[in-house]
Each structure stands twice: as structure tokens, then as C-alpha cells.
Copies of this chain bind each other. A is one copy, B any other.
Amino acid sequence: MPYRETDATRRRAEERRAGLLRAARELVARHGFAGAKITAIAQECGTSVGLVYTYFDNRDELLATVFRESASHELTAVRSATAAADPAAHARLDAFIRTFAGRALRGRQLAWSLLFEPVSPIVEAERLTYRRAYVDLAESILRDGIADGTFAPQNVGLSGAALIGAISESLVGRLNPVGYDGLDALEDAVIVDAIVTFCCRALGASTSVPTSRQETP
């Protein structure tokens, strides 16, 4: 029964490929893209380096796939939180920032790798695509908020991009595995609140967003 044999073979191949990607994802989340060496991935899966190269042309292709999968997972989480929030623009913005920053601060190595770790141009191209997707989401919130008077009139393309830049750069010091910023004394909640405040002010928000959860007595 050659047809069913092909089917089973294909299924086994898919499972192996998924296993390699899973191992690579875990290595990235622990040690960054620099730590996801082909030898380490093969070792985690109990296979040979040669087998990895039967599934992926080269390391860049494998890492670009890992980037896409991990970044897509994060983007989906932010999109879902934004869609589940109170539909008022300021509440959606609040959900956007708190989900993005909160998840980054809970999974620092992965967030560092997705946002800032120096990677090859092929992987970096994936990063630019995902930044664009976040800008698109921010723009849609901005557009609604300007229409209903929540935010000041402004160019949504520029402000959307500026927001994503402000949010992600605010996190670079805290996420950097080497560390450089003297923010170590700040609690994560204080950092997230500060980012929300910065962004709301930047947009000229008329509705004040709750930004001091940690300050309640």
C-alpha cells in the first residue's frame, strides 16, 4: 500500500520538523538566537546535525521560522487582549501596552531576542514585518480614538510608529541580558505604568487611563 506508506512518512517528517522547531524555540527562549546552534537543536532532539539540514536549508531559515512562530504567538496575544478590552480607545490602548510590556517583562530573554537581539539580516527582516503589524494595530486604535475625541488630532501613521518605538525602547534596558540602565530598582508594574503614562500623554489623551495601580494604599 504505497499511498498509505507515503502518508505515514509525511506525517513522521512533519512531526520531526515540528520537534526541531520546538527545540529551537525553547533554546531561543532560554539563550537567545545566538544560543540556538544547530548542534544544540540536534542534541535536544536526539538526532544528527545532518538530519536538521534535511528539514531546513540552513540555520538562518530555521531561525527565521522560529522568529515567525514566536512573534506571531506574541502578536496574537496582544491582538486578543486588545479585542477583548472595553471598546473605548483608551481602554484598548491600555490593554495593548499592558499586554505587550507585561508579557515582555515576564519572558525577558524571549522578548529581548524578538525585539533587540542582534540577528542575521534574514531574521531581522522578520522583525521589521512584525513591528509593522504592531504599528497597524496601534494605528487602528488611534484612528478610533481621534474620531471620538479621546486623542488629539494627529497623523496616525507617525504616532502609531512612534508609540511602538516608545513602548519597545522603554523595555530595552530592563530586557537586556547584559543590563545597562540602572532601572534594576524599579518594579515591573512601575515600568508598565510609566510607559502607559508616557504614551497617553504623547497622544494628548483626554481620558486619563488608570496608571497607578501599584500606588493604591
Contact = CB atoms under 8 A, between A and B. Distances in A.
Interface of A: 34, 116, 118-125, 127-128, 131-132, 135, 152, 154-155, 157-159, 161-170, 172-173, 180-183, 186, 190-191, 194-195, 197-199, 201-204
A119 B121 contact: yes
A158 B198 contact: yes
B203 A158 contact: no
29 contacts: A116-B128, A118-B124, A118-B128, A119-B124, A120-B120, A124-B124, A131-B172, A154-B197, A155-B183, A155-B190, A155-B194, A157-B182, A157-B183, A158-B191, A158-B198, A161-B169, A161-B172, A162-B166, A162-B169, A162-B170, A163-B166, A164-B169, A165-B165, A165-B167, A165-B168, A165-B170, A166-B166, A201-B201, A201-B204
Contacts of A182: 157
A121 B60 CA distance: 13
A66 B203 CA distance: 37
Contacts of A122: 118
A121 B36 CA distance: 14
Given A181-B157, A197-B154, A166 B124 contact: no
A132 B169 CA distance: 10
Contacts of A132: 180
Contacts of A204: 201
A125 B121 contact: no
The CB with the most chain B CB atoms within 10 A, among A164, A165, A167, is that of A165
